Structure 1
């Protein structure tokens, strides 16, 4: 199974976590998703994080 992508930066903009890029729904469902579903979520969340960075709303460390 895919490792949980949470990096403990749980701040949200428009229902998307600025830390991992997942939606609140995806975060809640993570443990119940199968491997293929997790892979899809990870790919979509990576795209969301790139879009947030392009808008200048990236995660801060």
Structure 2
């Protein structure tokens, strides 16, 4: 078996750790994988969108 150099190793997919981002009076859940939830006025609903993404991804 051959040793792999770091440049040859397959890329590691980003972990699903969504966060919430506020923009004006709206809050959106976003994830490092590229997923983004809908803009919400309710921060609690944006947090639940993030948690739902974490459990289903």
Q: Please report the TM-score for the alignment, with normalisation by the length of structure 1.
A: 0.36
Rg (Cα) greater in structure: 2
Q: Which has the higher helix share?
A: 1
* RCO higher in structure (CA 8 A, sep ≥6): 1
